[in-house]
Every structure is written in structure tokens, then in C-alpha cells.
Amino acid sequence: QLQLQESGPGLVKPSETLSLTCTVSGGSIISSDYYWGWIRQPPGKGLEWIGTIHHSGTTYYNPSLNTRLTMSVDTSKNQFSLQLTSVTAADTGPYYCASQRLVPATTTNWFDSWGQGTLVTVSS
């Protein structure tokens, strides 16, 4: 079973850049079965998919965040990361990283292992 752990600052000032890293253990980030995703949850609201990255560097971003979002992967450290620029209070909430399991030869996929989440607050 994969384990994932988010890390990064819990407090970010408005207009600055949010940077988070997810460390994967219990398996390799270089796996043909997996992509790697970020999901967030605005306070009191539902889940929002942020984006997904493959160990090759291929990325898929939520169009609503596309202009502010960059995701990257460091295979030597078994980590993947996100950077979200120009943050506002609307970017506050818990952020989760997750493994995104793929079914070969299909587009079926799901988030099967999740980090515990890290709370990010955007405030001056």
C-alpha cells in the first residue's frame, strides 16, 4: 500500500506563491500503473481536482487553475510538487496529494491512496 505525505508552509500571503510537496513511500513514483494528483477542499465545501502528473512529466491541469498552476516530479526523491501563484483567500483549505491508479488500455482511473492532507491558509 502506498503512503503519501504532504509538506509545505501552512500560511501563505495573498498574491504570493503556494508550494507543496508530496513524498511517496511504499512504492516507486516511476510506475506504469500510476499518475499522481492533487485535490483540495475549500472550507465547508466539496472536493476540487487541481491537477495530475506522470513521472514522465506529462501534466493535466484543471482549466480553472491552469494559468496559475505548475506541477513537477522529482523521481530521485520519489516526490511530486505543485506551485500555485497569485493566491487569494479562495485558495485556503486542506490540500491532498493522492495516487491515481490507471487501468491499462482504458481511461478508467481513481484516487486510491491519499495523504492525510495539509491545511493551507492564505492570509496577510
How far apart are CB 1 and other proteins at their closest, in Å? 10
How far apart are CB 12 and other proteins at their closest, in Å? 21
Binding region for other proteins (CB under 8 A): 39, 46-49, 52, 60, 62-64, 96, 98, 107-117
Identify the burial level of 71 via C-beta atoms within 10 angstroms of its C-beta, where 0-12 means exposed, 13-18 middle and 19 or more buried: buried
Provide Rg for the chain, Cα atoms.
Answer: 14
CA distance 2 to 5: 10
Name which of 55 and 96 has its Cβ closer to other proteins: 96
Name which of 56 and 75 has its Cβ closer to other proteins: 56
Give me the sign of the Cα torsion angle 56, 91, 13, 95.
negative
Name which of 7 and 113 has its Cβ closer to other proteins: 113
Name which of 34 and 111 has its Cβ closer to other proteins: 111
CA distance 25 to 110: 19
How far apart are CB 76 and other proteins at their closest, in Å? 26
